[in-house]
Amino acid sequence: MTTDIRGNPLSCNAASAAKLDAAFSKFHTYQIDPIADLDAIIAEAPDCVMAHAARAGIIATAADKAFDAELQASLSKAEALARRANPRERRYIAAARSWAEGDLSAATEHWGLAAIENPADLLAVQLAQIGDFFLGQSQMVRDRVARVMPRWSRDMPGYGYLLGMHAFGLEECGDFARAEAAGREAVGLDRRDGWAAHAVAHVMEMQGRAAEGSEFLWDTAPGWAPDSLFAYHNWWHLALFRVEQGDIAGALALFDERISAGGFGQALEAVDGSALLWRLWVLGHDVGDRWTKLAEAWGARIEDGLYAFNDVHAMMVFVGTDDVAAQRAVLATLERAAAGQGTNAMMSREVGLPLARGLAAFGAGDYAGSLGHILPVRGIANRFGGSHAQRDVVSWTLCEAAVRAGDRAMAEAMVAERLAAKEGSPVAQGWAARAGALGRRAAA
């Protein structure tokens, strides 16, 4: 039996095993390009089951219908080799199949079981955590990693990457001090670890530490930014810090030079671009024609019905461009998804549709209607995935809608919620001042 660098079983030869280790290391740091490395392994050893199964898993967790053909091709080849696969590899194949069929929960549990059975399987832990992230399962984002940590030691290859994953889980569960310490330690072990740096950025975002967050990301960028498939997301975090600091020009420059650098070729990039422009547009800032590239990216995906989280971000762009026809198309996609089966049906039905309707109402100037759609979603938004920082756009939109609706009580309530978490936030203080002005006008 062949094993990888951490002793996990593989049904391939030793040469392929070593090359798999190198490819997976790139994925752990989100460096370019693990898929190309897996393709090279497959070209040399077409019967390498794990190369096909891991390729399917990595592509699946991009959550982008544009890559569906690639996912199906890898999955078909992996399934054709299933008879010679070991139990670990069969877990990976089952996970990719479940994801392809729209059952994200089952896929995530398959990777999770692979990690329980093989605690040193860092790739299984990573894929399971990504699945938990897409499902909005904050506790499991933390606990998938916590389950295996007692079986690891600092001298094991990849320990820092595991630590960075745990840091993100700790942050999502509100354990900010431990999250920051673990994230900083992981970055110290490998400065290329963009995921660990991102965990620290999340802590600072949640605590309203915009100046520190800006400094931290800028200082660590020489490590995680070069040759990265993930840098756009950390640049997005930096742009959010710039917005909080009142540096709108700086935030837009990051959009132009960094966040849009990949041309929004994948949905995850388009999500970040949309989320940044929406926040700025909601505050009344002129974002120029920057919506255009995003509209093109989402236009090609408008009928995907793959992931409600993506559809809601597409709606932001079509509201920003006042494209009513595209807005209707997004709503139709969400309605079809909500009537179907699988994980996305629940996400679309419970969160995606009401949130998208609320965004459309906001764009139409119906701020009271926007509140009516969005407010009931506020407490359950985790059900359609993403992080706390990403879902913060819900609260952001509610604050602005309440102020524009002239609803003093609602505006003060929404602003109080934000100030309780980010007392020093200039953006929240701006809403507070406008909410207070509503009270003065009412008294006059």
The C-alpha atoms of residue 358 and residue 99 are separated, in whole angstroms, by 29
Question: pLDDT at position 109, please?
Answer: 98
The C-alpha atoms of residue 43 and residue 86 are separated, in whole angstroms, by 21
Q: What is the DSSP letter of 287?
A: -
Per DSSP, helices labelled H in 192-323 are 194-206, 210-224, 231-244, 248-254, 267-282, 291-299, 308-320
Residue with tokens 């742009």: 239
In a domain, 115, yes or no: yes
In a domain, 154, yes or no: no
In a domain, 270, yes or no: yes
The tens-digit pLDDT sequence of the chain (444 residues) is 799 999 999 999 999 999 999 999 999 999 999 999 999 999 999 999 999 999 999 999 999 999 999 999 999 999 999 999 999 999 999 999 999 999 999 999 999 999 999 999 999 999 999 999 999 999 999 999 999 999 999 999 999 999 999 999 999 999 999 999 999 999 999 999 999 999 999 999 999 999 999 999 999 999 999 999 999 999 999 999 999 999 999 999 999 999 999 899 999 999 999 999 999 999 999 999 999 999 999 999 999 899 999 999 999 999 999 999 999 999 999 999 999 999 999 999 999 999 999 999 999 999 999 999 999 999 999 999 999 999 999 999 999 999 999 999 999 999 999 999 888 899 999 999 999 999 755 544
In a domain, 126, yes or no: yes
The tokens for 406 are 């002239």
Question: pLDDT at position 443, please?
Answer: 47
The C-alpha atoms of residue 323 and residue 19 are separated, in whole angstroms, by 48
- Structural domain for 302, as ranges: 264-405
| Torsion angles phi and psi, residue 31, rounded to 5 | -95, 155
- The number of angstroms, rounded, from the C-alpha of 260 to the middle of its chain's C-alpha atoms is 16
Last residue of one domain, picked from the residues 88, 110, 135: 135
Return the number of other C-beta atoms located less than 10 Å from residue 320's C-beta: 21
The C-alpha atoms of residue 284 and residue 312 are separated, in whole angstroms, by 20
The C-alpha atoms of residue 266 and residue 195 are separated, in whole angstroms, by 18
Question: pLDDT at position 421, please?
Answer: 87
pTM of the model: 0.96
Question: pLDDT at position 441, please?
Answer: 55
The number of folded domains in the chain is 2
In a domain, 374, yes or no: yes
Q: What is the dihedral of CA 146, 24, 196, 263, to 10 degrees?
A: -130
Q: What's the one-letter identity of residue 191?
A: R
In a domain, 112, yes or no: yes
The CATH number linked to 99 is 1.25.40
In a domain, 47, yes or no: yes
Question: pLDDT at position 1, please?
Answer: 74
The C-alpha atoms of residue 343 and residue 103 are separated, in whole angstroms, by 5
Last residue of one domain, picked from the residues 87, 117, 135: 135
- 348, 334 Cβ separation under 8 angstroms: yes
Last residue of one domain, picked from the residues 107, 135, 163: 135
The C-alpha atoms of residue 31 and residue 23 are separated, in whole angstroms, by 9
- At 393 the three-state DSSP class reads helix
**Residues shown for the chain:** 444
Residue 32, H or E segment? none
In a domain, 227, yes or no: no
The tokens for 206 are 């949640």
